Chain A
């Protein structure tokens, strides 16, 4: 069964460093998303992406964040200058059935900023 994959599973970085989190969505899906979950808190929407551009972004998704689909298979989330409060689990999701379609989640990347 096709699935969303994410790498790495765990990333440790120092404050101020840039990180890139990688996702491979399900191959025929066209809608992509990033969510994050700070430990003990709700899962929060960050950004949605379709047709090589951002469809919607939350207040969390400020200028420090960017997303890219560099090729036909990867979808990346970049944080330019990490802060302690960026420590969280980051989930990628994809959807193959239009804007309101079911979203399939990857296993997540745990980001720890020290």
Chain B
């Protein structure tokens, strides 16, 4: 059974600092990995998808890396802003999505 772990569980940084969010998974037989953002009480906003054949994917200030063989992905958010405060979820796709518990980020102004 796929297990997805996200470290740290919570992170508080001053505005402007870069964020590094980690995700690990136990079974490397995946099709892709998605990073989502979730605001309190709200739905899931897809941020980035990395196919299993890719090592990296970028969108604006966001960059995600994937090392499938070691079962790890990292989401980097450059120059954080208070609007980046949210919970970030990692999900691996092996026909269905298996989610981590998320990293809750607070960016202090």
Q: Roughly how many angstroms separate A55 CA and B99 CA in the complex, as a whole number?
A: 19
Q: Min CB distance, A49 to chain B, in Å?
A: 11
B1-35: CB near A (< 8 Å → 1, else 0) gives 00000000000000000000000000000011010
Q: Does A14 contact B (CB under 8 A)?
A: no
Cross-chain contact B96 with A43 (CB below 8 angstroms): no
Cross-chain contact B43 with A42 (CB below 8 angstroms): no
Cross-chain contact B95 with A43 (CB below 8 angstroms): no
Q: Which residues of B contact A35 (CB under 8 A)?
A: 97
Cross-chain contact B89 with A43 (CB below 8 angstroms): yes
Known: A91-B43, A103-B34. A42 touches B95 (CB 8 A): no
Q: Does B49 contact A (CB under 8 A)?
A: yes
Query: A55: which of B31, B49, B95, B98 is its contact (CB, 8 Å)?
Result: B95
Q: Roughly how many angstroms separate A41 CA and B91 CA in the complex, as a whole number?
A: 14
B24-57: CB near A (< 8 Å → 1, else 0) gives 0000000110101000001110100100000000
Q: Does B100 contact A (CB under 8 A)?
A: yes
Cross-chain contact A103 with B43 (CB below 8 angstroms): no
Chain A interface, >50% SS class: strand
Q: Roughly how many angstroms separate A94 CA and B94 CA in the complex, as a whole number?
A: 15
Q: Roughly how many angstroms separate A55 CA and B96 CA in the complex, as a whole number?
A: 10
Cross-chain contact B95 with A48 (CB below 8 angstroms): yes
Query: A102: which of B49, B101, B102 is its contact (CB, 8 Å)?
Result: B49
Q: Min CB distance, A29 to chain B, in Å?
A: 15
Q: Does A105 contact B (CB under 8 A)?
A: yes
Cross-chain contact A103 with B101 (CB below 8 angstroms): no
Hey, which bits of chain A sit against chain B, CB under 8 A?
Answer: 33, 35, 41-45, 48, 55-56, 58, 89, 91, 93, 99-108
Taking A45-B96, A45-B98, A91-B44 as known contacts, 12 extra A-B pairs with beta carbons closer than 8 A to each other, sorted by chain A number, are A44-B99, A48-B95, A48-B96, A55-B95, A99-B95, A100-B31, A100-B95, A102-B34, A103-B34, A103-B93, A104-B46, A108-B43
Pick 8 A–B contacts, CB within 8 A, sort by A. Answer: A41-B101, A42-B102, A43-B89, A43-B99, A45-B97, A56-B95, A89-B43, A108-B44
